[in-house]
Structure 1
């Protein structure tokens, strides 16, 4: 998906240098305990539904919007599952640090399908049959498994995933 007008304006000022962005991710479970993933159109890799927040948008609103836009699935948020900083450098050289809040969500309606240009496929997967995922996606899923409990965060001085 092309960058938003907000990101385009920031990049015009900052070039490829470091910009921090607030982002959200959804770890979505259905009634069978399966997790909803999408296959990204830019990398071909399977991952969680995620995206950047819009200026003025609350994280909970952003995660519900992103899920609907990318998968046509309606969700309710069950809890905040974690928050962490992670770095991304895009193929064009743009450098970002994403402050990501991820939420444990429950699907309440809609049919999971490709709903925008960000996905090649959208599928429900059993936890014991997940496709290959990067360590960060695995971490967000594992920290979302408990129905209750505290949100995960890196302790002061701790890396998100050491060595990643």
Structure 2
């Protein structure tokens, strides 16, 4: 999907100035433990499915929508794995600047929907499920990071300590 209309409208007013957006990432596995990845048209890298939260849309709904739009697969978000702010500004080819708050979700396939991936939009060159020990290359750095968060989350959950990961630097000024 191309740039959402609400962002295009904002850009009319702020130009290329930095824009703070909520992004989602979906970590989708099938019954064999393989992970769903798409090969991005813009970078050529393989990546987890990600997208932008629309105004008034619940983030879990964004996850399901983005996965369906990009891969044709229907999912059910089950766990919020991490809440992380990007530390770097993204500058797109047109000069637009953006930073993201990323919410990474663990998702399972919706057995009442489509479970076979196909390229569903103009953002991906290919999509598919891959075994964790046979991931395609090149793999996006953001995907490597977020897969680490998922591994840590699942390890913690296996030990009875499942909670979303976040960063707290303790830099709050006390009044």
TM-score, normalized by the shorter chain, greater than 0.5: yes
The question of 1:67 aligning with 2:67 is answered yes
Distance 2:70 2:81 in 1: 21
- 1:124-139 residue pairs with structure 2 within 5 A? 124-131=129-136, 132-139=138-145
> Which consecutive segments of 4 or more residues in structure 1 shift more than 4 A?
none
Q: What residue number does 1:120 align with? A: 125
156 and 116 in structure 1: CA distance in 2 versus 1, 3 angstrom threshold = same
Aligned residues between the structures: 158
Q: What residue number does 1:156 align with? A: 169
Unaligned runs of 5+ in 2: none
Q: Shift of residue 80 of structure 1? A: 0.3
TM-score, L = length of structure 1: 0.90
- 1:137-152 residue pairs with structure 2 within 5 A? 137-145=143-151, 146=154, 148=157, 149-152=162-165
Summarize deviations over 1:8-62 as a string: whole Å, max 9, x none: 0111111111000111110001111110000111221111101111110000011
Q: What residue number does 1:161 align with? A: none
Larger strand proportion of the pair: 1
Unaligned runs of 5+ in 1: 159-164
- 1:3-42 residue pairs with structure 2 within 5 A? 3-42=3-42
Cα RMSD (Å) of the superposition? 1.6
What secondary structure sits across from 2:64 in the alignment?
Answer: helix
Match of residue 90, structure 1, among 89, 92, 99 = 92
Q: Shift of residue 5 of structure 1? A: 1.4
Summarize deviations over 1:91-121 as a string: whole Å, max 9, x none: 2221101111010111234110101111110
What secondary structure sits across from 2:77 in the alignment?
Answer: strand
Q: Shift of residue 155 of structure 1? A: 2.6
